[in-house]
Chain A
Amino acid sequence: MSRARYQGAVTGSGTRPGAGFAVKLVLVALVDALGVFGVLAAWRAGSWGILAATVALLAAANWVYFTKRSLPLKYILPGLAFLLVYQVYVVGYTGYVAFTNYGDGHNSTKEQAVDALLVQNERRVEGSPALPLTVVESSAGDLGFAVVSGGEAEVGTADEPLAAAPGATLDGGVVTAVPGWTVLDRATVLQRQDEVTTLRVPVSADAADGSVRTQDARTGYVFQPVLVYDEAADTMTDATTGVVYTPNDEGQFASADGETLPVGWRVTVGFENFATAFGDDRYAGPFVKILAWTFAFALLSVVTTFALGMFLAMVFNDPRLRGRKVYRTLMILPYAMPGFLAALLWAGMLNTSFGVVNQVLLGGASVPWLTDPWLAKLSVLGVNLWLGFPYMFLICTGALQSLPGDVYEAARIDGAGRWRTWRSITMPLLLVATAPLLISSFAFNFNNFTLIKMLTGGGPRFDDASVPLGHTDILISMVYNVSGLDGSAPRDYGLASALSIVIFVVVGVVSAVAFRQTRKLEELS
């Protein structure tokens, strides 16, 4: 009965599309317009993966919103699409990178690495002059260079070495016309710039004399390649020493005696990154310390902020307190400040010699707030308490206000004191409402990169300076430092991704276990 009525409402009895359908049509048309635009853009850029994904999403959207079978999907689809793009894809891609050696020296594809090696190892022949150059085209359509060498015009193409062109017209030291050749104007040269920049015109029949090339189509220089790439054999040969380099499993060209060429490319390396993450004994000691501190930091942050937030919420929930609204607004102020800004401000205020805390509040004391290992940890927790309690205050206030008054009355009649009421009624009921938020707060603090980076930068450093890590580093900032993303070590995105995946698993497991535990709380009520 109710289902029939609902269907009728949605479709306008199936035959006559109503105003609702028109609105839907327009909205979906807008979405399609965006999608088609995306498809075209992806087509032009040659990004086939994005194209396929856009087409699939677009098809799904059209199906979902025009079929009558998928009412729930109509609500979920937008969220699902964003989840796929911003979460699942990101996690998937990180997982993929974790198994590659993407990083410094392995930054791009093999093709680009070969290009880069060749271009870096083509040297100007020492002492060779700069040749005023004109780009010309033969009647057969071959591009060539007309250069002025020693006051005389010479013309050549990739196949024909430079030869004197007696009939050429020179104007201002540049060839302006050659009989039998068409001089290309600037616009045409620019149009064919790829061909022009890759054109090499041999100086003579002997290849050892080098060849002329140009970078700006105005001046040519004689160049000599040092590395030669043999496409068929897939090897690099050093023209001066004769050493042959072949590609190895690490994504580099290596010679027989193990010497490698500098530019490599990205290859998959299996579990090597994970082995490095756990196997490198330089990191073994710090890793354990940092793991322990990360858990301590995340847990203590949640506990302290929740305790303070709840205490304040209960105080300000008391109807006898005057001006509660004003106080509550003031309490929320730290929450309204961007976290990174607050962390930076605190870093300045806690400076040992010049900070406000030491100078003004402690009358010129020099307490090493951020440079002593234990005090730095305390400072981090303190600043995070300042930043985090308003959130807990807000959610506790909300939860407290929704607690039923009759339970309290029953407790009072049963003769329960304040402490007993709080322990047996307020706390359990409050936890039911806030436990999921506490878990997400734990996950957030576990990866609270901004605070650590801005407040202490992970410092003070461990006494063993052989690793770029410090006493307040948490796992995520350790990943940042170890993988060189801060510039203090060679960048290694593969290692960073592998470590991120490990953190992802840790946070995932902790959250899953914690959520399971919270079910017990719900049974209470």
Chain B
Amino acid sequence: MRRSILLASALATTLALTACGSGEGTAGGSGDEPADDAASATAQASGSLTVWVDETREAAVEQAAAAFEDETGVDVELVQKNFEDIRADFLAQVPTGEGPDITVGAHDWLGEFTANGVVAPIELGDKAGDFIPVSVEAFTQDGQVYGLPYAIENIALIRNTELAPEAPKTFDDMIAAGEKAGTKFPFLIQSDGDKGDPYTYYPFQTSFGAPVFEQNDDGSYRPELALGGKAGEAYATWLGEQGEAGNLSTDISYDIAVEAFAKGRSPFVVGGPWMLEKFGDLDLAVDPVPAPGGQPAQPFAGVQGFYVSAQSENALLANDFLVNSMSTPQAQTALFEAGGRPPALVEAADAASEDPLVAGFREVGATAVPMPSIPEMGSVWSFWGVTEASIISGKADDPAAAWDKMVSDIEGSIG
């Protein structure tokens, strides 16, 4: 009996092996056996690169990849991922060796990536000078550059020129112009319910002189909170007043803001270049965000770029691809056309600035500060947003006290 089981299993396995025999034959040549013929030697030498891209940028990266493939004979495989998933997946998969060689990403992931040892530095060399300084700065930590930047994004004030022909100088000007236009909302700024949206509100905050962290001279941040004190309290008080006056509301989500502006229900919206495609044929202008406080209103600059995995087995190829193929004006322009964010390469950015709206965002971006990429930033967002939301909605009776509580909570969380 036992022998018959063995026999039958052997028969089944043999059948199985014969069935996949043809497949084995083709696969075996490239991987396992020592290659002795010329054809497989090149196949082995050329190697392959795996690149994670999001849907928007896939086509643009594909162009650059095709050129790189032609030049070097390397096989570049693009894997499409949701941009939101990349951060966590990269962190989880790089240590297992299943991660990509290269991934697209945002610069504010850098702190987490280096703390977990999943990214390798990139030496841009003299090419660093070809990029807009803030873009390389954003990918710099401790003097090392960890990403090849390709786009800079920041928010600004988008104005419907039909409803408001003049750019407002101050926040009060803007509200006055908005009320004069007779639209439903004097101006629009998005929030995310009771979670708030400190990213979009940040220009207002900086105008009161309360940046989130202390900045070093080279533009990098150190983990010392700067958003407290008198300046922060003044901002909190202002938020409370404006919330009460109805100029700010936590009920206006991104979708509501975009839809209302597109339908001409407000002359102003605070937002980024990603909104523009929704606004169709409106006549628009892009201006700096008007400052309610005494100092300039500086938005956050977010920089997008490519990271190289610390566990890449093709590090040489990956660096070659990024430094020599993705830093060309053609590649950066293609990425701009796909994603709509102004390019990080000066030459490509100049070309893109022919569009007055892009130029407008770039002009505002010149005053922007990079979003902090230090790991401590992760502990800030949630407290920050919730507190802002509770002040605006009037749930916090004393804005200044709520703000101080937030500062001490964040300090407790950073430890």
Contact = CB atoms under 8 A, between A and B. Distances in A.
B44 A191 contact: yes
B377 to A, nearest CB: 10
Given A25-B12, A107-B91, A218-B320, A468 B20 contact: no
B25 interface: no
Contacts of A489: 378-379, 382, 413
Contacts of B31: 44
Interface string B302-325: 000000001101111101100110
Contact of A120 (B16, B117, B125): B117
Contacts of B91: 107, 491
A330 to B, nearest CB: 29
A33 B73 CA distance: 34
Contact of A33 (B19, B125, B195, B253): B19
Contact of A37 (B20, B313, B317, B387): B20
B172 to A, nearest CB: 24
Contacts of B20: 33, 36-37
A457 interface: yes
Interface in B59-96: 72-74, 87-88, 91, 94-95
A190 B17 contact: no
A381 B319 CA distance: 53
Contacts of A484: 378
A193 B115 contact: no
Residue of B44, B251, B409 with most chain A CB atoms under a 10 A cut-off: B251
Interface string B113-144: 01111101111011000000000000000111
A341 to B, nearest CB: 15
B193 A370 contact: yes
Interface string A484-496: 1101111100000
Nearest to B15: A29
Nearest to B114: A120
Point out which of A197, A459, A461, A468 has the most chain B C-beta atoms below 10 A from its C-beta.
A461
A371 B310 contact: no
Interface in A313-358: 351-354
Nearest to B91: A107
B123 A215 contact: yes
A194 interface: yes
A219 interface: yes
Contacts of A124: 123
Contacts of A116: 114, 116-118, 310
A117 B45 CA distance: 29
Nearest to A217: B316
A484 B112 CA distance: 12
B234 to A, nearest CB: 20
Contacts of A44: 31
A29 B121 contact: no
Contacts of A214: 316
A25 B409 CA distance: 66
Interface stretch (B1-9, B208-216, B338-346): B1-9
Contacts of B371: none
For chain A, give the interface size range: 35 or more
B207 interface: no
Given A62-B5, A109-B95, A36 B317 contact: no
A66 B316 contact: no
A215 B44 contact: no
A262 interface: yes
B143 to A, nearest CB: 6
A107 B320 contact: no
Contacts of B176: none
A240 interface: no
B313 to A, nearest CB: 7
A63 B5 contact: yes
A123 B12 contact: no
A145 interface: no
Contact of A461 (B44, B115, B194): B194
A225 interface: no
Interface in A203-237: 214-219, 221
A215 B323 CA distance: 10
Interface residues of B, number: 77
A465 B11 contact: no
Given A62-B12, A262-B115, A119 B310 contact: yes
A186 interface: yes
A510 B150 CA distance: 54
B249 interface: yes
A105 interface: yes
Nearest to B410: A466
Interface in A93-146: 104-105, 107-109, 112-113, 115-117, 119-120, 122-124, 130
A196 interface: yes
A485 B20 CA distance: 42
A365 interface: no
Given A36-B20, A190-B74, A489-B382, A354 B256 contact: yes
Contacts of B46: 187, 190
A174 to B, nearest CB: 14
A59 to B, nearest CB: 8
Given A29-B19, A216-B323, A354-B256, A193 B112 contact: no
B95 A108 contact: yes
B412 interface: yes
Interface string A292-308: 00000000000000000
A196 B316 contact: yes
Interface string B28-41: 00010000000001
Given A107-B95, A108-B95, A465-B405, A68 B117 contact: no
Nearest to A352: B251
A352 B252 CA distance: 10
A30 interface: yes
A244 interface: no
Nearest to A109: B95
Given A120-B142, A219-B125, A460-B194, A465 B12 contact: no
Contact of B315 (A109, A197, A491): A197
Nearest to B109: A487
Nearest to A195: B316
Contacts of A67: 1, 5
A25 B15 contact: yes
B375 interface: yes
B275 interface: no
B118 A107 contact: yes
Nearest to B42: A187
A123 B141 CA distance: 11
B386 A461 contact: yes
Contacts of A352: 251
B378 A487 contact: yes
A320 B95 CA distance: 66
Contacts of B221: none
Interface string B357-390: 0000000000000000001001101110011001
A319 B122 CA distance: 76
Contacts of A109: 95
Contacts of A26: 15
Contacts of A216: 316, 319-320, 323-324
A319 B300 CA distance: 67
B280 to A, nearest CB: 22
A105 B16 contact: no
A466 B319 contact: no
Interface string A466-484: 1010000000000000001
B188 interface: no
A-B interface, 9 closest residue pairs, ranked by CB to CB distance from nearest: A116-B117, A108-B95, A33-B16, A488-B382, A187-B45, A107-B116, A193-B316, A215-B319, A29-B15
30 contacts: A25-B8, A29-B15, A29-B16, A29-B19, A33-B17, A36-B13, A36-B20, A44-B31, A67-B5, A107-B118, A108-B116, A116-B116, A116-B118, A187-B46, A190-B74, A193-B317, A214-B316, A215-B123, A215-B320, A216-B324, A217-B316, A218-B324, A263-B114, A353-B249, A370-B193, A459-B193, A461-B386, A465-B387, A490-B378, A490-B379
